[in-house]
Amino acid sequence: MMAQPQQGGPDEKEKTTALKDLLSRIDLDELMKKDEPPFEFPDTLEGFEYIFNEKGQLRHIKTGEPFVFNYREDLHRWNQKRYEALGEIITKYVYELLQNECHLKKVTLPVDAIETEPKSFIFISEDALVNPDKLLVLIHGNGVVRAGQWARRLIINEDLDSGTQIPYIKRAIEEGYGVIVLNPNENYIEVEKTKAQVPLSSDISDEPAEKRERKDKIQKETKKRRDFYEKYRNPQKEKETMQIYIRMIQREAEVKNRVTAVALTDSVHNVWHQEVGKTIREWMRENCCNWVSSSEPLDTSVESMLPDCPRVSAGTERHELTSWKSFPSVFKFFNEAVKAKNSLVKPTPTRRSNRIKYEEF
């Protein structure tokens, strides 16, 4: 039998110790800055040399080609920052479309905010608060998207129709709806931390010294890992910031009394984890429908382990496309709900023969 080399011998340990010593002396922040170009990008579409054509597709001004993510090879983080910078421009561009093309008005929130208070904004149609018949409220998903967007990736790589809420807004206005476009991801402002705002461990405590030292050690290790990740994600960031959240209001009773129907598109909500009460779960079963990503044809019933609300296929397996692909079915669902409410008859969420009987759960 051939002799096997021992694992973890003296030589191996010496190499490991030497490597750790080398890594400890490397300034990761400075190393990354030297390897990467500065994160300095244009602040306009024209500066990026891109424009939206007549089909709402983002194309290069000179070549007519779609957006290229890997603009510089072997610089993934720099390319990602470039993509994010373009995304911020796209956000402002969509805001302009909401105002100029959809004729919506920008409204500051909270409506009673004082001058120094953090603020956000939404977009509303002229009749949004006075329309006696119908009101469509559009809410995007979480992440980097802002008011008027479904998916930044679709806006950049596909077109404005599939990636924005504009087709929903235009059809709603045509059908006599008032419109409100919410902006839930714009729920905080980011400010630079001052020394007084940086949390420090205090020796004034009733805790035993040993327990306090152990807690401080854990906090320092956690901060060290977080700082390491932040240096990797954004090595050129010089200032430490903090988030100040914008005032919010909960109005469960008003929502349940005034909302006729809710269409969800591949929603990842969980009524059990969010500790939603029985009355809300019952309300969701009666008034909501979730168009989920699926290989089944549009509106085909999709079974679920949790009886929160009916689920049907959006006609696509791509999560980001579910809002666009389910577009006609969503408006059909809303129109049926309005008719049913006016005739005091409960609507059926979709056309399907094998609907799950949620009342049996």
| The pair of three-digit structure tokens given for residue 132, joined into one six-digit string | 């006696």
pLDDT score recorded for residue 359: 33
Identify the top-confidence range among 35-44, 277-286, 334-343.
334-343
Return the exposure string of 256-285: e unless at least 16 CB atoms fall within 10 Å of the residue's CB, then b.
Answer: eeeeebbbbbbbeeebeeeebeeebbebbb
The answer to whether residue 350 sits within a structural domain is yes
Q: What is the pTM of this model?
A: 0.74
Find the domain containing 280 and state its range: 250-361
The answer to whether residue 103 sits within a structural domain is no
In 3D, which of 332, 334, 289, 337 has the Cα closest to residue 309? 289
pLDDT score recorded for residue 20: 67
Q: Is the pLDDT of residue 202 over 50?
A: no
pLDDT digits (tens, 9 = 90+) for 154-164: 999 999 999 99
Q: Is the pLDDT of residue 52 over 50?
A: yes
Average pLDDT over residues 253-268: 90
Q: pLDDT: is 343 or 171 the higher one? A: 171
pLDDT score recorded for residue 242: 79
The answer to whether residue 326 sits within a structural domain is yes
| The pair of three-digit structure tokens given for residue 68, joined into one six-digit string | 């290229």
The answer to whether residue 279 sits within a structural domain is yes
Q: How many CA atoms lie within 13 A of 163 on its CB side?
A: 23
* Percent of the chain's residues with pLDDT above 90: 50
Q: Is the pLDDT of residue 7 over 80?
A: no
The answer to whether residue 344 sits within a structural domain is yes
Q: pLDDT: is 318 or 269 the higher one? A: 318
What value does the mean pLDDT of the chain take? 82
Q: How many CA atoms lie within 13 A of 351 on its CB side?
A: 5
Q: How many CB atoms lie within 10 A of CB 13?
A: 10
Q: Is the pLDDT of residue 201 over 50?
A: no
pLDDT score recorded for residue 10: 61
Q: Hey, what amino acid is at 19?
A: L
pLDDT score recorded for residue 353: 37
Confidence tier at 199 by pLDDT (50, 70, 90): very low
* Percent of the chain's residues with pLDDT above 70: 75
> Can you tell me whether residue 75 is helix, strand or coil?
coil
pLDDT digits (tens, 9 = 90+) for 14-35: 777 777 666 665 555 554 554 6
- Cα torsion at 286, 288, 293, 297 (round to 10°)? 60
Q: Is the pLDDT of residue 200 over 70?
A: no
pLDDT digits (tens, 9 = 90+) for 273-332: 666 677 888 888 899 999 999 999 999 999 877 778 899 999 999 999 999 999 999 999
Q: pLDDT: is 351 or 108 the higher one? A: 108
The answer to whether residue 5 sits within a structural domain is no
Domains of the chain: total: 1
The answer to whether residue 245 sits within a structural domain is no
pLDDT score recorded for residue 75: 86
- Are 324 and 154 spatial neighbours (Cβ–Cβ below 8 Å)? yes
Q: Which residues contact 347 (CB under 8 A, 6 or more apart)?
A: 261, 333, 336, 337, 339, 340, 341
Give the DSSP letter of residue 346. P
| The pair of three-digit structure tokens given for residue 292, joined into one six-digit string | 């989920």
Q: pLDDT: is 244 or 84 the higher one? A: 84
The answer to whether residue 265 sits within a structural domain is yes
- List strand residue ranges (DSSP E) for the chain, in order: 50-52, 58-60, 105-109, 120-124, 135-138, 178-181, 188-192, 241-245, 262-265, 288-292, 311-313
